[in-house]
Structure 1
Amino acid sequence: MTSTALIVIDMLNTYEHEDADSLIPSVRKALPALQEVLKRARDASAPVVYVNDNFGQWRSHHGELVQAALAGKHPELVEPILPDEDSLFIVKARHSIFYETPLAYLLGQLEVRRLVLCGQVTEQCILYSALDAHIRHFDVTVVPETLAHIDEELAQAALRMMRTNMSATVTPLNDVTFEPKDP
């Protein structure tokens, strides 16, 4: 049984939005840790699920979103964390990774009970996704080094809320492990 999945939230981004200038420095800082957590999950053959905003493009699929992100203003923030051929992909329209997406069903099919959330934005999509995971009885792990924020003060408050109100494990990258898939 697979018990842990890595969920990569909103990292396929064109950075052509009003908060981009505030977000980009935090994304740059998070990239090495994001690459490391992706490597650990992939090395353990744990499911890696990219859940990404569709930017209002209802006819888009993940390939188009990847191409748009690579053609955006900061492809250097996208290239290091691109989905590989084994990655799973879900498009979302709102802040939560669960809101009107098939993610809960997919995780059930994969027999996942623990989610490691990474990506952007800590005080928005990560926070709301952690809440929705908690109310669906998933164990949530959040690794601050793998998260990008717009407002550092709000991001710190969001991490406290996840820990206190949602029973999330907020832990350093060095403490994150993924169980190998059973054969």
Structure 2
Amino acid sequence: MPPSPLRPSTLQSTPLPESEQVLLLVDVINPMNFPAAADLLPHAQAAARRIDRLKRRLARSGSAAIYANDNYGTWHSQFGDILAACQALSDGRGEIARLLAPGPEDLVILKPQHSAFHSTPLQHLLGKMKARKLVIVGWAADMCVMLSATDARMLGHEVWVPQDCIASETPERWERAVRQLEEAFDCSVRPAVAQDDQAA
């Protein structure tokens, strides 16, 4: 039996936007199926509300957004499957997935390991978009956010990791990550909320 013909819309190319500054959302669509998830979740919920505000503000200024998300070992799934499963959760995990779901203009990549750059097309995308600055948010601050930010710095990007838009399992781990990002890797860690308040 011959394969079904593709609908014309299936293979329509979408031009990449040029965006000097890009918002990179790391693992924000997350089922949190790990032992310390209950410790991370309340911090992530608070950060998610600030990420939502920051994303809206950056979009108004013309900054594109890229979601870099783990596939959580579901090698036969696509991002839409992961998003739908997380949005269906009835607790805070579902609340975050519904609040921070990507819009039609946002880009999405799946990553197999901690860094958003490892074995993904992210570096290629950023080059095509002529991105120079990255704003990195998400969780966990001392794992996937940290490694994504350090890779970005090694590739020559100017990096801002708003300290109020990242979360870790404990305040101590969050504090260590923020200090390391600022002191060792020269990332800006200024909070996003203060800028939002000034713009209000």
TM-score (norm 2): 0.84
Unaligned runs of 5+ in 1: 178-183
In structure 2, the residue matched to 1:55 is 72
**Aligned Cα root-mean-square deviation (Å):** 1.5
Superposed displacement of residue 176, structure 1 = 5.6
Superposed displacement of residue 28, structure 1 = 1.7
Superposed displacement of residue 158, structure 1 = 1.0
| In structure 1, distance between residues paired with 2:48 and 2:116 | 21
**Contact (CA 8 Å) 1:15, 1:72: kept in 2 or not?**
no
State the SS of the aligned residue for 1:116: strand
Compare CA radii of gyration and give the structure with the larger one. 2
| In structure 1, distance between residues paired with 2:193 and 2:123 | 27
Change (3 A) 1:86 1:116: same
In structure 1, the residue matched to 2:15 is none
**Contact (CA 8 Å) 1:26, 1:148: kept in 2 or not?**
yes
Superposed displacement of residue 175, structure 1 = 5.9
Q: Does 2:181 align with 1:156?
A: no
Unaligned runs of 5+ in 2: 1-17
Q: Does 2:32 align with 1:7?
A: no
Paired positions, count: 177
The amino acid of 1:52's aligned partner reads N
The amino acid of 1:128's aligned partner reads L
Deviations 1:4-39 (A, max 9, x none): 000011011112322210111101211221111110
TM-score (norm 1): 0.91
Higher strand share: 1
**Quick one: higher RCO (CA 8 Å, sep 6+), 1 or 2?**
1
Instruction: List, as ranges, runs of 4+ consecutive aligned residues in structure 1 with deviation greater than 6 Å.
Output: none
